[in-house]
A and B are shown apart, each in its own frame.
Chain A
């Protein structure tokens, strides 16, 4: 029994599906009868979730046939933002869209067509394939805020990026700006279990989070000051002789230069910048360096601190190298790309994009690391050592804020069309007001989504996309890990929904790319990906049913056999790759994007430090606000403020308050909590209100409340706020002020 559903009734099939509400893709068993899902539960045999499901996973059936879902292609019939749609057949939509793209390409060049993506819950290798064949280098995601810069910077230093933690044998884990307690359930339970066996947990987070409350050491640093902390840890590890001498001597290069570089970055130096005491900083460095093997778990926060982001990733990578916590049992593993199956990169067709088009990629001239210049260089190195390269989708993208600005001001050239897939840019991209201006201005926009989001209100076409339970899934961490977890469709997509693969393929076929799209369905494509593993299966479904997972035998110390994928074959503490790209070969100190030391005048006006923060249960990014059972648990947004600070401003718990930066202001409700430093404000991000009128303001609407409580109103994407390595923009470590919303200004948002 699941609820009132009898699972033993005749004709019930069990499908090995997976959750699709974040990219953990936890295993789900779907009980299906007559192509209808009767019930779901967590799959107890799935290695990550072991039967567990979080809030998101549990609502799959509510999501599947939610009354607000987009079920058929919609064509705009009113003005942009007026919210008038006509339902049209899929094929008609494809032919009209392709005709329009074709004419834009003719007039402005292929690069005038850009695509925006969201999280990795798409068949985005097919999006890249389409763009490559179409000839545009201007695809992008929010990936700049999520691991991708980390991957590229770390790969520059030691030839791949650890995504796999060999946590079972670990003695210490650093959760650096990560809160698995709210974001990664499988990880949280592994950590909890190992902690009982003696694993030391260090949490670096300005907030006393779920994870911090369970930690052995919590380091509540000033938001955005991670670099000072990392440099001080390097200083402590080197000057207190805590590094792995043998590893450093044998497998690294540039130690002398690094030692000299960090000589002044003492804990005392860092204390003022991080708001930690020198003792706290030392304690952390000691715990990590003296409990070996250990792990530093990546979290999105460093990717989101803007200006110092790249240098911080750089310094953090050096900590692993100095302690020898690389590719040895219990440490962070450099798996390399899978040698056994086709990676996403091998499906992307990057060979189709002409060199002269690569050169036109927006942002490549400013931010080399995750654009063609850096990506090409990394590919050269990884190809030599690993035989394969990282995915281009995610790792090699146009700079999103620069594309939005190009839409507005045609600099460096006009961008006329935006194909949006699985994202609500108004909620999730930085500087909402810039994004809004771009969406209002764009000539042609197509949105592939589950919902008519505030951003989709500006679309010319909205395409209905298959979601959880309706699509087959391969999970392999952007194609950058060597393992693979798979899942099958529980049911055929309902109504006229299709996989985004079908959108890109159909569009490609309509534009004459058919010969380069050998697979007609996602399953065919996925089968071609898993076929090289060599199981006796003839379809992807069969693979899921009989095999489902692929975990290659783990090989430690691969560097002893093949070296690191760097020019010298060693870990480059002094990075020649970064230097060649015009970046600092050693991590140079950069203050937080906005800070009281470098910007004293700004700090006078905006005396508090802001982080727009990470995920919070039960939602995921800007999603699920229209799932009643989830929304019921958190129906209004809350920002964290220390009670002492709140008192100064006569703010009481639950009051609506404005949070304002130099970019603008938005309102959330005050959660008075000691969990945060008196000078720090934490806001929830990405809020919008699907219950509100979705139309643009000029038509009497409220744009779904997308400008009311949205953390991205506050963030900054200006070039000089962006990380010079990758171009990732600043969501955290900004300056703000906070004040009560006047009764008269409070249009009840709930």
Chain B
């Protein structure tokens, strides 16, 4: 069984927001829903001695996912391949998962009342395709693949670089890794 993961190579990300828009448009999300924010970390320092990087965010598909635990209806589930997603018809919109997620990766859909989130473009992944945000990235700053396959690009990138997870102190064990 695959264990899907994403690597964000912040050395390459230029903060162009293409992933944000591709995700919104291709997944036909409501205007106010942003699964893929790209934040600007910086510039830190004092002019002209500065550094800055861009941080593409999305659902971290945590191995130890607080959102799944918090869901009272069982709508939030983690598939065997690690992808955390919401079964829309079971969701009552209690927002427990939104509150439980430390990464702000879940959104209340005001049109349907349910909570929506990034699902790594589950339908595409099942067809062997890559998520839209990865597909659209000119910079190849987002790399998607199987963590269980030691020869996959993600596995190699993680082992060859000091890839880190966000908020590791929370023990959520995210499957999104950042290379700084």
Contact = CB atoms under 8 A, between A and B. Distances in A.
Interface stretch (B15-23, B59-67, B96-104, B111-119): B15-23
Interface string B9-43: 00110111110111011111001101000000011
A58 B132 CA distance: 10
A213 B137 CA distance: 19
A208 interface: yes
Contact of A52 (B18, B27, B50, B127): B18
Contact of A674 (B45, B53, B136): B45
B31 A629 contact: yes
A518 interface: no
A606 interface: no
A185 interface: yes
Q: How large is the interface on A (under 10, 10 to 19, 20 to 34, 35 or more residues)?
A: 35 or more
A3 B18 contact: no
B14 A214 contact: yes
Interface stretch (A186-194, A580-588, A704-712): A186-194
A414 interface: no
A50 B139 CA distance: 10
Interface string B119-161: 0000110010100100111111000000000000000000000
B171 interface: no
B21 A633 contact: yes
Contact of B50 (A49, A61, A208): A208
Nearest to B53: A213
Contacts of B135: 41-42, 51-52
Interface residues of B, number: 41
B26 A39 contact: yes
A59 B15 contact: no
B34 to A, nearest CB: 8
A632 B31 contact: yes
Contacts of A41: 26, 135-136
B14 A618 contact: no
A196 B161 CA distance: 14
A677 B47 contact: yes
Contact of A211 (B14, B17, B20, B140): B14
B14 A58 contact: no
B18 A633 contact: no
B136 A58 contact: yes
B43 A185 contact: no
Nearest to A52: B138
Nearest to A618: B17
A747 interface: no
B168 interface: no
B14 A181 contact: yes
B48 to A, nearest CB: 5
A678 interface: yes
A275 to B, nearest CB: 10
Given A58-B21, A674-B43, 14 more contacts: A51-B136, A52-B135, A55-B21, A181-B14, A181-B16, A185-B138, A188-B16, A189-B140, A192-B11, A220-B48, A617-B17, A642-B47, A676-B47, A677-B48
